[in-house]
């Protein structure tokens, strides 16, 4: 399946690192001009910036600083992207944070920050994108496409991570709300729910207790890679995905089927 996104502009949040970085590389390789919307240009797990990766491979990408916890920062980033390319066709809401804490260990500041980034940030960018897309002529049946990254941990309890789990459930519902409310105007809104995806060394990744949990829950004989998620996002961001809206597509090695 050769997907061609030439002439399209895509914003990918959290694209400096991990899954978002892989999504940005994949969309750019398909011909899209990609905005790397992140707090920082450099990946936390090391390596060159995503902008460098994309441009070195002959693609088009530009880092635009953005803090999803701040509404004005999200709106300014969107306006910059619109001014730079004249239109925004694809938005991938990928960035998210977590505290790794249970209910009784989560203080107000942590709760509010997770909800601000993972839910309000997604809401703000979706609102800016849909307002913009509604003013655009349709390409075939579609005025614009949104792909939100959720998690299996928004469908079942996120162990020791209450704010994260609640935030991901909210994004799944946000996806359905937008899909249904704007289908008639040609806005497509879907989600991708990764299972456990290995992105780099972290406290949980190095803890045998968590590794055992992930592998025991994952039927496929390996954990996920960022490219696994990027392939699904590329599909949903493209015209190959027709008559599909409001879904929360699992890329989890079978976790939620078990
Ligand atoms: N890795 C997994 O196992 C997994 C599993 C299920 C779902 N997910 C979801 O996939 C997405 C990506 O996860 P990941 O593991 O690649 O994350 P990551 O932590 O590797 O990268 C997140 C990126 O978001 C950026 N970011 C954080 N806060 C921000 C803010 N306030 N404003 C702008 N950017 C900000 C970070 O700088 C970073 O580049 C997230 O939505 C996550 O919930 C991941």
| 213 tagged catalytic | no
Give me the CATH number covering residue 181.
3.40.50.720
* pLDDT, position 50: 98
Q: Measured in angstroms, how far is the CA atom of residue 233 from the centroid of ligand 1?
A: 15
The pLDDT tens digits of the residues spanning 24-47 come to 999 999 999 999 999 999 999 999
In a domain, 179, yes or no: yes
Q: Say if CB 146 and CB 126 are below 8 A apart.
A: yes
Query: If 0-12 CB within 10 Å is exposed, 13-18 middle and 19+ buried, where does residue 206 land?
Result: exposed
In a domain, 63, yes or no: yes
In a domain, 155, yes or no: yes
DSSP track, 39-56: S-SS-TT-SS-HHHHHHH
- Neighbour tally for 87: CB within 10 Å: 16
Q: Measured in angstroms, how far is the CA atom of residue 138 from the centroid of ligand 1?
A: 31
Q: Measured in angstroms, how far is the CA atom of residue 20 from the centroid of ligand 1?
A: 7
Helices 18-29, 226-236: crossing angle, 10 deg rounding: 50
The model's confidence at residue 1, banded by pLDDT at 50, 70 and 90, is low
Minimal-distance CA residue to ligand 1 atom 15: 18
Minimal-distance CA residue to ligand 1 atom 38: 14
Which residue is listed with tokens 């009784």?
104
- Report the nearest atom of ligand 1 relative to the CA of 18: 16
In a domain, 215, yes or no: yes
In a domain, 4, yes or no: no
Q: Say if CB 41 and CB 63 are below 8 A apart.
A: yes
Split into its structural domains, the chain has a count of 1
DSSP code at position 137: P
Mean pLDDT for 171-193 is 99
* pLDDT, position 32: 99
- Report the nearest atom of ligand 1 relative to the CA of 229: 10
Among 46-60, 199-213, 231-245, the minimum mean pLDDT is found in 199-213
pLDDT of residue 243 exceeding 80, the answer is yes
Domain residues for the domain of 192 are 9-257
What Å distances lie between residue 212 and 49, 158, 256, CA to CA? Answer: 32, 15, 17
Residues with a CB atom less than 6 Å from ligand 1: 13-14, 16-20, 38-40, 66-69, 94-97, 117, 149, 151, 194, 196-197, 199
Q: Say if CB 215 and CB 223 are below 8 A apart.
A: yes
The pLDDT tens digits of the residues spanning 55-74 come to 999 999 999 999 999 999 99
The model's confidence at residue 112, banded by pLDDT at 50, 70 and 90, is very high
Q: Measured in angstroms, how far is the CA atom of residue 204 from the centroid of ligand 1?
A: 14
Which residue is listed with tokens 């049946």?
141
- Pick the closest to residue 91 from 137, 7, 149 (CA basis): 149
- Report the nearest atom of ligand 1 relative to the CA of 69: 31
**In which order are the strands placed within the sheet that holds 248-251?**
60-65, 33-38, 9-13, 90-93, 144-149, 187-194, 248-251
Query: Longest C-alpha distance within the chain, in Å?
Result: 52
Minimal-distance CA residue to ligand 1 atom 11: 94
Q: How far apart are CA 232 and CA 250, in angstroms?
A: 9
Minimal-distance CA residue to ligand 1 atom 42: 96
In a domain, 3, yes or no: no
Q: Say if CB 134 and CB 87 are below 8 A apart.
A: no
In a domain, 112, yes or no: yes
Q: Measured in angstroms, how far is the CA atom of residue 96 from the centroid of ligand 1?
A: 4
In a domain, 15, yes or no: yes
* pLDDT, position 20: 98
- 201's CB contacts (< 8 A; 6+ apart) are 45
């Amino acid at each position: 399946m050769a997907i061609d996104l030439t002439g399209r502009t895509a914003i990918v949040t959290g694209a400096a690192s991990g899954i978002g970085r892989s999504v940005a590389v994949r969309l750019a390789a398909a011909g899209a001009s990609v905005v790397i919307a992140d707090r920082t240009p450099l990946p936390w797990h090391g390596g060159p910036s995503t902008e460098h990766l994309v441009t070195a491979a002959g693609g088009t990408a530009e880092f635009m600083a953005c803090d999803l916890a701040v509404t004005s920062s999200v709106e300014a980033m969107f306006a910059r992207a619109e001014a730079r390319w004249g239109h925004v066709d694809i938005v991938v809401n990928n960035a998210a944070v977590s505290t790794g804490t249970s209910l009784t260990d989560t203080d107000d500041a942590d709760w509010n920050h997770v909800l601000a980034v993972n839910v309000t940030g997604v809401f703000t960018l979706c609102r800016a994108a849909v307002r913009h897309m509604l003013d655009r002529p349709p390409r075939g049946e579609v005025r614009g496409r949104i792909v939100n990254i959720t998690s299996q941990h928004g469908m079942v309890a996120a162990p020791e991570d209450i704010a994260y789990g609640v935030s991901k459930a909210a994004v799944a519902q946000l996806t359905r709300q937008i899909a249904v409310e704007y289908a008639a105007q040609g806005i497509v809104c879907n989600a991708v729910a990764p299972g456990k995806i290995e992105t780099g060394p972290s406290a949980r990744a190095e803890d045998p207790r968590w590794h055992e949990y992930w592998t025991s829950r994952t039927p496929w004989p390996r954990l996920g890679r960022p490219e696994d998620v990027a392939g699904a996002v590329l599909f949903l961001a493209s015209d190959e995905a027709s008559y599909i809206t409001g879904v929360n597509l699992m890329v989890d090695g079978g976790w939620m089927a078990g």
